[in-house]
Structure 1
């Protein structure tokens, strides 16, 4: 039985290596990034080894170094990709033809989905804060935050112009407050202390505070 299993494992490895050989450089790079996300999130940047990432992708270390000059280069690319994909999902929401109040509600819903579906990526973002003294890591995180602030601020301004949100709010401050809610909700989720209805109550309270109640939604 053990011999049979060994043969099956060997066949699976050969099949995977065959697939990897037929991949384009860009396809292989995507597999390596996916493997890196798993390894970095399970350990952390300092503890993770390139050999572990290579093993997860069923390739040799030289294959990893063919696409990434160093572990740090791979780490920075992973962080950048996570931030960009997060922004892309929120941008897709704000591009929809709906009023600003509905956009804010959909952004909230999208965040709730993301923290449950992309837990590994979320862990990696939080772990990156421990590397904040590295200027390159700091800039990636700061760029992600600034982009989030700008996106929410634009929706708030749109809502103010159209009368959905109060005209006396500071959209820049409110955008930072809103994104801050996302950050602390994400940390609660990872720590498994988030109560079922907490997020709904929090954002209901937030939106109630900025809505122009003289206008019906």
Structure 2
């Protein structure tokens, strides 16, 4: 007779899910394993076991570990890009825009620190495909900020671009440090500190007449 626990495990493995639900399940399991072990230390066996599926099922959706990792990276970068652009476009008041962008970034890593670690702390970060995706995100974010700065000031495009990169970097570096302190500061307090620092600098540039 098969033990009840083993029966339940077998039933869980054999349960059929719609393709999108199965894909989401596999991505969640992969995120857990990649963050815990790094890309190079992760094994498809462990990802399948974490997802409670067979390896053939995993390979049906993702033919390789690299493809699985890239799918995760693309998904989280798309989410972060949407959050940043949404915050930037949430108001026409530039002071509130800076505040919204900083808060949105902190909220992203507070809601899912595993996603943030996968994107910015991976052992695959120097891989050309990964670094290209990160640069696309950074450029999109910085360009959107630079456009607002250029429209609001008399600064030429290249100077506005540099400020856009600086603001994006300020959000990323400070939020990563905040995450490492295990949220010793309240999220709103931390993000508002960085917002005030950023705004004091940006607000001093001459306004476009």
TM-score range, shorter chain: 0.7 to 0.9
Q: What's the CA shift for 1:207?
A: 0.2
The residue correspondences of 1:55-66 to structure 2 (distance < 5 A) are 55-66=49-60
Cα distance in 2 for residues equivalent to 1:214 and 1:153: 15
Aligned residues: 200
Correspondent of 1:125 among 101, 108, 119: 119
Cα distance in 2 for residues equivalent to 1:195 and 1:174: 29
Stretches of structure 1 that go unaligned for 5 or more consecutive residues are 1-5, 161-165
Stretches of structure 2 that go unaligned for 5 or more consecutive residues are none
Which residue does the alignment assign to 2:79?
85
Q: Do the aligned residues in 1 keep the contact of 2:110 with 2:179 (CA within 8 Å)? A: no
Q: Residue deviations 1:67-88, cap 9 Å, x none?
A: 1110011111111111111001
CA RMSD of aligned residues (A): 2.5
Which residue does the alignment assign to 2:202?
210
Q: TM-score, structure 2 length as denominator?
A: 0.83
Distance verdict in 2 for CA 1:12–1:117, change over 3 Å: farther
Q: Residue deviations 1:10-54, cap 9 Å, x none?
A: 464355346x40x22222111111111111111100001111111
Cα distance in 1 for residues equivalent to 2:61 and 2:182: 39
Q: What's the CA shift for 1:60?
A: 0.8
Q: What's the CA shift for 1:199?
A: 4.2
Q: Residue deviations 1:120-159, cap 9 Å, x none?
A: 011112233x32442212211211211111222223234x
Q: What's the CA shift for 1:91?
A: 2.1
